[in-house]
Structure 1
Amino acid sequence: MHRHLAALLFFAGAVSAQSAPNPRIAALITDLAKTRTPQQVALSPDGKLLAWTGDSNLHLIMTAALDQDRVLSPDTASKPGNTATSACKSSHPTWSADSTQLAFLSDCDLHGAKSPQSQLWIFTPATNGVRQLTHLTGNLDEPQFSPDGKTIAFLFVSNATRSAGATDAMQPAIGVIGQDNIEVQTVKTVEVATGYVPKNNLTDLHIYEFSWSPDSSRIVYTAAPSPGENNWWVARLYAVGIDASKPEFKAKESLLEPQMLVDPNTIPGPLHGLQITLPRFSPDGKNIAFLGGLMSDFGSNGGDLYITSSEGKDTHPFTEGRKASIAWFQWVGADHVLISEHERGKVHVAILGTSGHQMPFTSQNFDGTLGSGASVLSLSVSPSTRNVAFFASSFEKAPEVYFGSPGNLHQVTHLNDTLKPSWGKSESIEYTNDGFNLQGFLLYPAHYDPAKKYGLITYVHGGPSGANASMWPTAAFGPAPFSALDYFVFLPNPRGSFGQGETFTQANRRDFGYGDLRDILAGLDLLEKKLPIDPTREGITGWSYGGYMTMFAVTQTHRFHAAVAGAGVSNWLSYYGENSIDQWMTPFFGDTVYNDPAVYAKSSPITFVKEARTPTLIVVGDRDGECPAPQSFEFWHALRAQKVPTELVVYPNEGHHFREEAHRVDVLTRALNWFNTQMPAQGPTGALAR
């Protein structure tokens, strides 16, 4: 125990002790750090005003004058022409249905003084008036106006010590495990006119997301027993009456009485055992649509659309068999929905009938990735004008905000106009293996010369339910920086990925590391035949499931000459009892580790670790609940025992997704240096200096 703790502290301390990076790497990271990234976009329902956030500031623009941008915060709301950045952190803009009021979260008061936490504010564009609605202690998130504009509902964790969700740093495992220090996220409401917040809670369950009924009388939501970060994979669909205008609602201080509508754990048919997300009432209130599929992370959406009655009857899919993974949708009529979906490396936006038929008047493909901040691939929509707003980026284009019709978009922001890619060109590649038609991306070396040979790094995405996509990088771990240092970079989307429908996503169930690895190696075979790749300088890397695949790959083949495993899993058997999210495993492995240990053992890198020869850098956060640090220690220990070159770096106070900028930069720097040391890239002036 003491040796384990000492090692943890030693490698965490090594973060600051890293030697100076290669000057070319340092210059690259400086360039990457110039990127400014929009985070949220909210188009008013009448299409006249556009709110967006970036650099912790909230901006407001009239869509008739896209070059007139103002910064909005509690202390500057009365200044229509204000363009000065604010010290306030303002976020989560959301409009009332009549477009007359904008709600947002901010951690400043009316005088610009910082508060200990964010509160909910209301801004009225017609008068430039602003007022504070809440005075709560805890974490507020995802505010939504009721359709009648009288109430705002929001997610709330009372006295929160961390952000809700499995990717944030977990609390230290002390006290009575599973009982102490449990933080439950619920939905609270506030009256817009008075700021009154009823004392009652909807439920004692952990609520993940919600939406209003069109008559403002009900809320539909997904929820599961606490701890919430562990149980999203078994969440059910509920609805509850929440008419805040009724005296009995205000008077009731106990739990309300929700109605359970859909339980994927017991329902027969294609939804059985899958995950659900994005519940939305139809405009007439008679039905509820939601997304159902095999999903490995809350917020990483992909699957089919299902519909059920408002009472939870006749639940069925209406996109079953679609050869794409729907990620987001919004009702645009009584029997039509606007969708965005992963489709073979692109984003496809379309309108579908609830019969599943695609409507011809809206169908648009986008290269790259996009979103509004509300959900992955989400759009902010003005129903009356049929315009949309979102931010988007690709390997070729830095992130900006866009507005207009899907076929006639206008660039709103110019945050990154001066930035140009420092990496090579990208292309989508397609190939076949084991009867699957596969897709992935290839980044060329930045200074590509077909007369020279180059190393190649395979970048495996997380998930496994996820997808590699064309996306502008930041100064953090990712594929493009390797291309900037003159490697080919292969980004495969093997079986198990989003992008080709639910059957394809489910194709690696009970088969982790086998069919998906064969798909990846088949892609490498193809690239070696077509391009000047030096097979003695091939490496592999990834984070989360990509970190696991990196660990597994180096035990299955000696093809890779260097590896970097970020937040990986080395032993599925021990992992089952260590992680904070074990409910995700049964849908993918088919049973618990106690009932079927063999299926877990056959996919564990530690089972085959005596075959490993590849020099491997391992990085992880010390409070990672999704892929706990002991998994990285276990693999590092095994490699070191066999004299395989390895290094383990543990980052303090980090979860699965790193929050500290210095740590994100350090991970990228170490990864670049590791490949440079183990298999140096050839650039315009030869190999990088070691």
Structure 2
Amino acid sequence: MVLRPAALGVLLLAATAPVAQTADTLAWTPEHSMRFHRVGGVDLAPGGDLAAYVVSEPLMEGEQSEWNSQIWVAATDGSLDVQYTRGDASASGPRFSPDGAHLAFLSSRGGDVSQVWRMRVRGGEAEQVTDAEAGVSAFRWSPDGARIAYTARDPETDEDKARTKEKRDVIVVDQNFDYTHLWVVDAEPGTDGERDAQRLTGGTFHVAEFDWTPDGRTLVFSHQEDPRISTGFSERDLSTVPADSGAVVPLVTWGGADGQPLVSPDGRLVAFVSHGGSPQEVGLGDVYVVPLAGGAPRKLADTPDRSASLLAWSADGRHVYALESVGTTRAVIAIPTDGADAEVVAQGDGVVANVAFDADGRTMAFTFEDPATPPEVYTSTVGAFDPVAVSSVHADVPLPAMGRTEVVSWTSPDGTPVEGLLTYPVGYEEGRRVPLVLNIHGGPAGVYTQSFTGGPSIYQLQTFAQRGYAVLRPNPRGSTGYGRDFRYANVRDWGFGDYEDVMSGVDAVIERGVGHPDSLAVMGWSYGGYLTSFAVTRTDRFKAASMGAGLPNLVSMVTTTDIPNYLVAHLGGREVWEDYDAYERHSAIYRVANVTTPTQVIHGANDLRVPFTQGQEFYVALQRRGVKTEMVVLPRTPHGPREPKLLMATTPYILSWFEEHLRGRDVEPDPWANAEDDGGSAAGGR
């Protein structure tokens, strides 16, 4: 390929010393987007004076391609914002002790697996609290701060270790699971300097979420038959166990998945999210309460989307707070325990996430971002949402001129209202028609929200905007954020109603005078890749397509994915051998003879969610039909790129494909192609 000068500013990483840039010359590139770090893991001190949070930075020098996460602490009055943890090993999951004197967190700094560590908030070295052989997955302070409960995977037995060492470690699928169980450990060491950990659960079940009762005597936990993700989608129950050991007592055992237990401040009720007594793999998360002493669960009012993620109880026990998608936003919902209607209490034109409350429930800390603003940590009173920034993670990262993003809506041919987000090219002039990219989300119960458009992602939107593309991100039927009925509206309808939803969105953008009807492209990941593959079998309007981790063959997909129940549910609950025609009807591979659109295939080599062979099937079929195609394989990658260098490289490969087929430009897709070494840098924002 010949690398054309016009593409250098966007697709090539500089290998020489950085050149000073002004606001006029600064442009969006994949490298620049990597300077916007991930911010999350927020916790608020009991007194509401300090907020802990996690900043994840990409390391990409030389052989490095990994994320390093460290904990920062900010004073909510703006007087302090400092890094608390450092080093090559990441730290995550900060949690203040109930008295606010200590901060505990997870880190592998002491070995190869994560353990619980703690340090004094006012200064001092961190000390290791747990010593779980296979590592700790989650933890919670006891209400009095004297103990820490945690979950840890069962370690290998001596026989397992011998089998591995002697290379006779044959795997028998779906047998000999590694279960995760519940433990407690004293926060303070004994007189001998040691801490004795006590195991609370054991046996052939897998512990997920858990919570303490206010008196510290009992733990409530969710559990499932085995650790497979598909099992967790279908069946999960609640039980209790004494915090000083004893018998496990079932609490909620009806059908479907029950999880996220939270005990009320008076210890009488347990709030949880549930399918409501029968498996709902398409997706349903209603909020229930059940007496801790046992009894029938009671459903609370519906939340807007009926897909709640529980956060906390109010201090007076009259409400349960949950986080949920509401259209293109993400908001905090208060659900009264007396059955009254749920109420949105924290919502802006953006995304509220990583929410934590102080001890009296009057103040909350959270991350917030919108299409033009990178994520930072904020605080607000719960009663009146008025965010005040307390972090400055991105204060020193310059913002190039951005392509603006706005919420748009239209009506699908069958009358279904659809909403989405439209990002314009940088410097867009009203009335000018531009190339339009249709970007379809995964799930299908994903959703495009008003999150920051300049940060690291598979599809780096501002890089597309910098190159003169408009990008439409629709939320078709099946998306979350619009209620249970909308989420179920594409059951047994993949590739048809949802296709009409996204294509009518394309037409709406063209009718607005923005999209050029003869310069269209489509891309999407996972389910978005599925619908991309289906779209090119139904229309030749797109000049180029990029299918990321797509599933063009539901017949072979359903028996090879690690979430078969989810796919079967979307086919109406009937297995492939019971309704082969339906699986074939909704599979692009059986319509591949209709494809004329040049279609790129991108897939992770280690994908278990959408097996690698799904991408291969479509690529080989297109190749054998003589349709222009290429397959880009991301090594070591599961269902989406995790390594920063691979994440950063994905957009250039897609852009190169689009530039070639929409504009006739030959652009080198590899951002390191002309570099003097194989490194890249992403300077931090601090």
TM (norm. structure 1) is 0.82
Between 311-320 and 222-231, the greater mean CA deviation after superposition = 311-320
Indicate if the aligned counterparts of 1:324 and 1:343 stay in contact, CA closer than 8 A. no
Instruction: Pick the aligned partner of 2:252 from 261, 284, 295.
Output: 261
Q: How does 1:22-41 map to 2 (within 5 A)?
A: 22-23=7-8, 24-26=10-12, 28-41=29-42
Indicate if the aligned counterparts of 2:34 and 2:648 stay in contact, CA closer than 8 A. no
- The offset of 1:207, in angstroms, is 2.5
Q: Which runs of 5+ in 2 are unaligned?
A: 14-28, 57-68, 157-168, 190-194, 669-686
> Aligned pair in 2 of structure 1 residues 93, 454: CA closer, same or farther (>3 Å)?
same
Q: What is the alpha-carbon distance in structure 1 between the residues aligned to residue 306 and residue 132 of structure 2? A: 42
Q: What is the alpha-carbon distance in structure 1 between the residues aligned to residue 595 and residue 633 of structure 2? A: 22
> Aligned pair in 2 of structure 1 residues 127, 647: CA closer, same or farther (>3 Å)?
closer
- What residue identity is the alignment partner of 2:458? F
- Name the residue aligned to 1:193: 188
Indicate if the aligned counterparts of 1:202 and 1:258 stay in contact, CA closer than 8 A. no
- Pair 1:288 & 2:270 matched: yes
Q: How does 1:311-322 map to 2 (within 5 A)?
A: 313-320=295-302, 322=304
- Name the residue aligned to 2:625: 642
- The offset of 1:323, in angstroms, is 5.6
- The offset of 1:638, in angstroms, is 1.1
- Name the residue aligned to 1:341: 324
- What residue identity is the alignment partner of 1:411? A
- Name the residue aligned to 1:45: 46
Between 590-599 and 515-524, the greater mean CA deviation after superposition = 590-599
Q: What is the alpha-carbon distance in structure 2 between the residues aligned to residue 425 and residue 101 of structure 1? A: 43
- Pair 1:426 & 2:409 matched: no
- The offset of 1:141, in angstroms, is 2.1
Q: What is the alpha-carbon distance in structure 1 between the residues aligned to residue 660 and residue 259 of structure 2? A: 44
Instruction: Pick the aligned partner of 2:358 from 382, 387, 394.
Output: 382
Q: How does 1:464-475 map to 2 (within 5 A)?
A: 464-472=444-452, 473-475=454-456
> Aligned pair in 2 of structure 1 residues 664, 241: CA closer, same or farther (>3 Å)?
same
- The offset of 1:288, in angstroms, is 2.3
- What residue identity is the alignment partner of 1:33? M
> Aligned pair in 2 of structure 1 residues 51, 392: CA closer, same or farther (>3 Å)?
same
Q: What is the alpha-carbon distance in structure 2 between the residues aligned to residue 228 and residue 348 of structure 1? A: 30
- Name the residue aligned to 2:230: 230
Q: What is the alpha-carbon distance in structure 1 between the residues aligned to residue 243 and residue 140 of structure 2? A: 15
- Name the residue aligned to 2:166: none
Indicate if the aligned counterparts of 2:225 and 2:231 stay in contact, CA closer than 8 A. yes
Q: What is the alpha-carbon distance in structure 2 between the residues aligned to residue 183 and residue 454 of structure 1? A: 53
Q: How does 1:156-175 map to 2 (within 5 A)?
A: 156-159=152-155, 175=171
- What residue identity is the alignment partner of 1:90? A
Q: What is the alpha-carbon distance in structure 1 between the residues aligned to residue 556 and residue 342 of structure 2? A: 49
Q: What is the alpha-carbon distance in structure 1 between the residues aligned to residue 628 and residue 445 of structure 2? A: 31
Indicate if the aligned counterparts of 2:251 and 2:292 stay in contact, CA closer than 8 A. no
Q: Which runs of 5+ in 1 are unaligned?
A: 1-16, 74-84, 110-114, 161-172, 266-274, 373-378, 682-686
- Name the residue aligned to 2:73: 60
Indicate if the aligned counterparts of 1:620 and 1:632 stay in contact, CA closer than 8 A. yes
> Aligned pair in 2 of structure 1 residues 243, 175: CA closer, same or farther (>3 Å)?
closer
RMSD of aligned alpha carbons: 3.0
Q: What is the alpha-carbon distance in structure 1 between the residues aligned to residue 83 and residue 651 of structure 2? A: 33
Q: What is the alpha-carbon distance in structure 2 between the residues aligned to residue 592 and residue 345 of structure 1? A: 34
SS at match of 1:500: coil
SS at match of 1:561: strand
> Aligned pair in 2 of structure 1 residues 205, 29: CA closer, same or farther (>3 Å)?
same
Indicate if the aligned counterparts of 2:75 and 2:390 stay in contact, CA closer than 8 A. no
Q: What is the alpha-carbon distance in structure 2 between the residues aligned to residue 39 and residue 531 of structure 1? A: 39
Instruction: Pick the aligned partner of 1:392 from 358, 362, 368.
Output: 368
Q: What is the alpha-carbon distance in structure 1 between the residues aligned to residue 323 and residue 31 of structure 2? A: 34
- Name the residue aligned to 1:412: 390
- What residue identity is the alignment partner of 2:541? R
- What residue identity is the alignment partner of 1:413? S
- The offset of 1:305, in angstroms, is 2.0
> Aligned pair in 2 of structure 1 residues 578, 491: CA closer, same or farther (>3 Å)?
same
- The offset of 1:678, in angstroms, is 1.4
Q: What is the alpha-carbon distance in structure 2 between the residues aligned to residue 390 and residue 258 of structure 1? A: 35
Indicate if the aligned counterparts of 1:541 and 1:547 stay in contact, CA closer than 8 A. yes
Instruction: Pick the aligned partner of 1:651 from 627, 634, 647.
Output: 634
> Aligned pair in 2 of structure 1 residues 412, 62: CA closer, same or farther (>3 Å)?
closer
SS at match of 1:117: coil
Q: How does 1:385-534 map to 2 (within 5 A)?
A: 386-405=362-381, 407-417=385-395, 418-420=397-399, 422-433=401-412, 434-472=414-452, 473-478=454-459, 480=461, 481-534=463-516
Indicate if the aligned counterparts of 1:324 and 1:498 stay in contact, CA closer than 8 A. no
> Aligned pair in 2 of structure 1 residues 483, 263: CA closer, same or farther (>3 Å)?
farther
Q: Deviations over 1:365-424 (max 9, x none)?
A: 21222322xxxxxx1111426111112222110121112325222211222134325541
- The offset of 1:311, in angstroms, is 5.3
- The offset of 1:63, in angstroms, is 2.5
- Name the residue aligned to 2:164: none
Indicate if the aligned counterparts of 1:336 and 1:352 stay in contact, CA closer than 8 A. yes
Indicate if the aligned counterparts of 1:369 and 1:469 stay in contact, CA closer than 8 A. yes
- The offset of 1:529, in angstroms, is 0.9
SS at match of 2:197: coil
Q: What is the alpha-carbon distance in structure 1 between the residues aligned to residue 139 and residue 3 of structure 2? A: 45
- Name the residue aligned to 2:81: 69
- Pair 1:97 & 2:98 matched: yes
Between 539-548 and 447-456, the greater mean CA deviation after superposition = 447-456
Q: Deviations over 1:58-89 (max 9, x none)?
A: 1223333x24233324xxxxxxxxxxx54442
- Name the residue aligned to 2:210: 210
- What residue identity is the alignment partner of 1:442? L
- The offset of 1:277, in angstroms, is 3.8
Q: What is the alpha-carbon distance in structure 1 between the residues aligned to residue 81 and residue 422 of structure 2? A: 37
Q: What is the alpha-carbon distance in structure 1 between the residues aligned to residue 93 and residue 281 of structure 2? A: 16
